[in-house]
């Protein structure tokens, strides 16, 4: 989607994708990555996700990347964190303790920005992007992550003919194709969640699954 689309969603408060608690599948499967405490974790298109707080509580340094300044401001305000703000080449960096959020376009970040990331967590980035942008996103981000980097990816699966995204359906075949050049892909979980998401049923879906993948950079 175009930048203006997401900025307008935040301006209008159309943020039904924001979860008001930690994602249960993150808490369940994150330990399987075996990442060291103190390691930096990338959270692309992070919004104001509480998952960043959880990751910091596990002993990680968190680097979120988010387009909307409103989302960034709301994250720190709602979590009662006072951030230091500084200008960096890719945007504006907000820092509080072990959490940093770069307000800017993730496609403006370069290899140096990702250099010390040991992990990544993607619940909302890949499924927010239409198909042509998904390929560009994977190439730009995962193509620049360090060789030892590991990631947890959450996707949604449904009949795209029943509902127009975002969030978009990204099936396992596409995940494996997108990441084939950059990472190994292991499916950890797939489960039906339509009964827990009445808003999706109201939009016409007859089936909705979420899938969890472990990604490891090629050569790790």
Please report, for the chain, the start and end positions of each structural domain, with discontinuous segments joined by +.
1-14+36-124, 150-220
**pLDDT at residue 16 above 70?**
no
Residue 6: per-residue pLDDT: 61
Architecture of domain 1-14+36-124: 3-Layer(aba) Sandwich (3.40)
Confidence bin at 191 (pLDDT 50/70/90): very high
pLDDT for 164 equals: 85
Report, as an integer, the average pLDDT of 176-198: 94
Angle CA(207)–CA(19)–CA(166) in degrees, nearest 5? Answer: 50
pLDDT cut 70: percent of the chain above it: 92
pLDDT at 166: 87
Query: How confident is the prediction for the chain on average, in pLDDT?
Result: 91
Largest CA distance in the chain: 46
Does residue 9 register a pLDDT over 90?
A: no
Question: What is the spatial distance between Cα 133 and Cα 63, in angstroms, rounded to a whole number?
Answer: 22
Q: Match 């009445």 to its residue by tokens.
A: 198
How is residue 124 written in tokens? 């909302």
What pLDDT, in 10s, does the model give residues 77-134?
999 999 999 999 999 999 999 999 999 999 999 999 999 999 999 998 999 999 999 9
| Contact criterion met (CB below 8 Å) for 154 and 122 | yes
pLDDT digits (tens, 9 = 90+) for 49-63: 999 999 999 999 999
Rounded mean pLDDT, 12-27: 76
Res. 21 pLDDT band, cuts 50 70 90: confident
């Amino acid at each position: 989607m175009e930048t203006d689309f997401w900025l307008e969603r935040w301006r209008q408060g159309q943020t039904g994708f924001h979860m008001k608690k930690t994602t249960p599948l993150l808490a369940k499967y994150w330990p399987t990555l075996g990442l060291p405490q103190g390691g930096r974790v990338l959270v692309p298109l992070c919004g104001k996700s509480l998952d960043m707080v959880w990751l910091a509580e596990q002993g990680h340094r968190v680097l979120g990347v988010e387009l909307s300044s409103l989302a960034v401001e709301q994250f720190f305000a709602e979590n009662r964190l006072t951030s230091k703000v500084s200008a960096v080449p890719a945007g504006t960096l907000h820092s509080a303790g072990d959490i940093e959020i770069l307000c800017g376009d993730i496609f403006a970040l370069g290899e140096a920005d990702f250099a010390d990331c040991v992990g990544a967590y993607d619940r909302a980035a890949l499924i927010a992007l239409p198909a042509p942008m998904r390929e560009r996103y994977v190439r730009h981000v995962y193509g620049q992550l360090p060789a030892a980097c590991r990631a947890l990816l959450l996707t949604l699966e449904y009949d795209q003919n029943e509902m127009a995204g975002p969030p978009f359906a990204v099936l396992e075949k596409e995940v494996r194709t997108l990441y084939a050049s950059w990472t190994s892909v292991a499916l950890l979980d797939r489960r039906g969640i339509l009964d827990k998401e009445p808003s999706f049923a109201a939009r016409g879906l007859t089936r909705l699954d979420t899938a969890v993948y472990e990604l490891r950079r090629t050569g790790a």
